[in-house]
């Protein structure tokens, strides 16, 4: 088999694309996803032209502009994108990132009014604002214009703003609504295109160069992957091209972040989600909420290195806090085995890690999970974060629960949601979610199956094969990485590594051997099966083929998802 770029390699990529829903007549566009091939006209989106005109006016008249972002990676990258763009246009914008613990999610009316009093005549909210009715009413009364750039679920009645750009508006046209999978940073990039187009028409660039929008794709890629946005269509192009920008190391802040993540090669899509993203998130979760934006916008290498190092320290601190909360939350699972949606709550849980814990437990149980810190604010209200499974729209359910009167606040998108609740109504919420989502969750869990792209003998697991499979990427949510079955093999060695990972070495009937690892699997049925497998029994392993580049000579290994004995 020629896996060095020959015909069979080409055919393998075609099969991977076809298996992910690409039409046969559309293969070429998806082999190398480019912005030119996937970008829609920004004017398709409601309020986009209004938003671009208002922002252009601010640039032309040198108004004081503040970008109000969320404290997670999508919010930080969205804010950084607009700040970098405005700087390239000769306009220095301020930023405001709320404190997760003191202010909570979304625009605060008090903060918006204060920004107006400090001189801002235009505030652009990014990754938040779609449900901020009261806060935006306060801003309007204070005489400040607000443009909302968001991607979260919207209600039928929108808050009052100069413009609200969101592909998930209920009144959006079909062609624009088809981009509802965009992260907020992707929507912000479309606004950047629209803004440049308006300024071009105003002859703004007669005596100055236009900004290089492609240079902003590094933050678009990071925000898209870290927010677990579906990697198909335009998002896939964003990430594919953004990784190329990252590899050039032209951004001072991004370069420092890559170095702090101890990457000695160009980042991959997986690195964005598991190495770079968590560090940016750590600032908003357990540290200072502005660190991410400061890092991604600074032009000072020394400052960038200092902030990146600080974020790495905070990320380690976050890991320790997360472990404590996860242990306490998992202790409640057995009492909810009949629940369709796990609703786990406790006092003293750090609100900055509940989203991560919800995601971990969702992966372990296969059920949508809400994790709630019961004493998260001075009023004694609970702050919760949820993660869902494919086929279950948790964000819509949380919005409906709020409209039903069960929540003080709440919103989100299909795969993730946040809420504020009176602890006295916790059981009522759990019952309501079971009644609303029970049938959907059971159907989604019943339909879960492990789909395989390729079955190979152990000798076929090679770096060349991994490279070929990766060429159909980038992979992520909505565009799953190829899963291969390798076998038959016999266990040579299996042991624990780290806290709960299972490491193994296996050998096939063809004489070839390879290494594998099952992450966070020690206490699971899979982990125990691998640890106790004897050399006498043969089995097939299923998982993701990866390159182990820690040694001098890169080798292929398998990240194991499942195993099956054949004798």
DSSP state of 44: G
Report residue 9's pLDDT band, with 50, 70 and 90 as the boundaries: low
d(CA 337, CA 137): 43
What architecture does CATH give domain 331-446?
Answer: Roll (3.10)
Mean pLDDT of the residues in the chain: 93
Half-sphere CA count of 176, side-chain side, radius 13 A: 20
Q: Which residue has the higher pLDDT, 101 or 52?
A: 52
Is residue 187 over pLDDT 90? yes
pLDDT in tens, 303-350: 999 999 999 999 999 999 999 999 999 999 999 999 999 999 999 999
The residues with which 383 forms a beta bridge, in sequence order, are 373, 420
Is residue 2 over pLDDT 50? no
pLDDT (0 to 100) of residue 286: 85
18's tokens: 């076809």
pLDDT (0 to 100) of residue 156: 92
At 467, which helix (H) or strand (E)? helix 463-470
Report domain extents, the chain: 37-313, 331-446, 451-565
Q: How far is CA 29 from CA 36, 214, 425, 441, in A?
A: 10, 19, 50, 35
d(CA 493, CA 430): 44
d(CA 488, CA 477): 30
d(CA 192, CA 194): 5
d(CA 211, CA 84): 10
Is residue 452 over pLDDT 80? yes
**All residues at 6 or more sequence positions from 33 whose CB lies less than 8 Å from its CB, including other chains:** 236, 237, 240, 241
Q: Under a CB-based contact definition with an 8 Å cutoff, are residues 349 and 285 in contact?
A: no
d(CA 359, CA 326): 10
The strands making up 416-421's β-sheet, listed across from edge to edge, are 342-346, 369-373, 382-387, 416-421, 409-413
The strands making up 65-69's β-sheet, listed across from edge to edge, are 94-96, 65-69, 122-126, 145-149, 163-165
The residues with which 518 forms a beta bridge, in sequence order, are 502
Q: How far is CA 357 from CA 67, 78, 270, in A?
A: 29, 24, 19
Per mean pLDDT, which range of 56-60, 97-101, 363-367, 488-492 is the poorest?
97-101
Per mean pLDDT, which range of 91-95, 119-123, 244-248, 498-502 is the poorest?
498-502
pLDDT (0 to 100) of residue 10: 63
Arithmetic mean of pLDDT, 158-187: 97
**All residues at 6 or more sequence positions from 507 whose CB lies less than 8 Å from its CB, including other chains:** 458, 489, 490, 492, 513
* Intra-chain end-to-end CA distance of the chain, in Å: 30
Per mean pLDDT, which range of 7-21, 52-66, 73-87, 542-556 is the poorest?
7-21
Class of domain 451-565: mainly beta
Return phi, psi of residue 148, to 5°. Answer: -105, 125
Q: How far is CA 300 from CA 246, 258, 297, 337, 354, in A?
A: 18, 16, 9, 52, 33
**Residue 181, exposed/middle/buried by CB under 10 A (0-12, 13-18, 19+)?**
buried
Provide the percentage of residues in the chain whose pLDDT is more than 90. 83
**All residues at 6 or more sequence positions from 433 whose CB lies less than 8 Å from its CB, including other chains:** 340, 341, 343, 370, 397, 401
- Range 37-313 classified under CATH 3.90.1640.30: yes
pLDDT (0 to 100) of residue 8: 46
Is residue 210 over pLDDT 60? yes
Q: Under a CB-based contact definition with an 8 Å cutoff, are residues 185 and 220 in contact?
A: yes
Helices (H), 231-290: 234-248, 252-260, 269-271, 277-286
Of 160, 118, 167, 169, nearest to 141 by C-alpha is 160
């Amino acid at each position: 088999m020629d896996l060095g770029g020959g015909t069979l390699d080409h055919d393998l990529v075609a099969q991977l694309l076809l298996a992910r829903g690409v039409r046969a007549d559309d293969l070429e566009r998806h082999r190398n996803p480019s912005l030119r091939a996937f970008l829609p006209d920004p004017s398709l989106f409601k309020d986009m032209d209004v938003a671009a005109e208002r922002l252009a006016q601010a640039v032309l008249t040198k108004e004081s502009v503040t970008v109000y972002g969320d404290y997670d990676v999508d919010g930080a990258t969205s804010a950084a994108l607009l700040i970098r763009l405005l700087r390239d246009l000769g306009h220095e914008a301020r930023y405001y990132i709320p404190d997760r613990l003191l202010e909570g999610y979304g625009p605060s009316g008090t903060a918006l009014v204060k920004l107006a009093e400090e001189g801002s005549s235009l505030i652009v909210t990014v990754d938040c604002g779609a449900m901020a009715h009261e806060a935006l009413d306060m801003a309007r009364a204070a005489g400040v214009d607000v443009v909302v750039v968001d991607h979260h679920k919207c209600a039928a009645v929108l808050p009052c703003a100069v413009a609200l750009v969101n592909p998930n508006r209920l009144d959006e046209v079909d062609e624009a609504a088809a981009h509802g999978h965009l992260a907020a940073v992707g929507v912000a990039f479309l606004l950047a295109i629209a803004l440049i187009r308006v300024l071009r028409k105003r002859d703004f660039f007669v005596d100055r160069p236009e900004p290089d929008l492609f240079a902003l794709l590094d933050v678009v890629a990071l925000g898209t992957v870290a927010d677990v946005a579906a990697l198909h269509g335009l998002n896939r192009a964003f990430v594919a091209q953004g990784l190329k920008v990252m590899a050039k190391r032209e951004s001072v802040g991004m370069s420092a972040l890559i170095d702090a993540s101890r990457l000695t090669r160009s980042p991959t899509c997986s690195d964005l989600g598991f190495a770079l993203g968590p560090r940016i998130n750590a600032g908003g979760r357990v540290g200072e909420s502005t660190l991410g934006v400061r890092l991604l916008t600074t032009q000072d290498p020394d400052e960038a290195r200092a902030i990146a190092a600080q974020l790495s320290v905070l990320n380690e601190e976050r890991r320790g806090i997360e472990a404590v909360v996860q242990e306490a939350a998992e202790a409640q699972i057995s009492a909810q085995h009949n629940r369709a949606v796990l609703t786990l709550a406790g006092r003293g849980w750090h609100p900055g890690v509940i989203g991560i814990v919800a995601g971990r437990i969702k992966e372990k149980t296969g059920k949508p999970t809400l994790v709630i810190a019961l004493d998260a604010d001075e009023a004694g209200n609970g702050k919760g974060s949820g993660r869902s499974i494919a086929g279950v729209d948790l964000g819509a359910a949380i919005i409906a629960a709020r409209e039903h009167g069960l929540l003080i606040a709440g919103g989100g998108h299909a795969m993730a949601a946040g809420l504020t609740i009176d602890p006295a109504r916790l059981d009522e919420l759990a019952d309501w979610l079971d009644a609303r989502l029970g049938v959907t969750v059971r159907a989604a869990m019943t339909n879960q199956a492990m789909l395989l792209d390729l079955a190979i003998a152990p000798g076929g697991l090679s770096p060349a094969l991994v490279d070929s499979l990766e060429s159909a990427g980038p992979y992520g949510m909505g565009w799953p990485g190829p899963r291969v079955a390798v076998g038959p093999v016999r266990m040579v060695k299996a042991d624990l590594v780290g806290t709960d990972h299972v490491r193994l070495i296996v050998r096939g009937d063809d004489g070839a051997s390879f290494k594998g690892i099952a992450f966070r699997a020690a206490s699971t049925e899979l982990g125990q099966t691998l640890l106790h497998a004897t050399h006498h029994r043969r089995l097939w392993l299923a998982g993701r083929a990866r390159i182990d580049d820690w040694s001098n000579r890169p080798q292929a290994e398998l990240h194991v998802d499942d195993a099956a004995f054949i004798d």
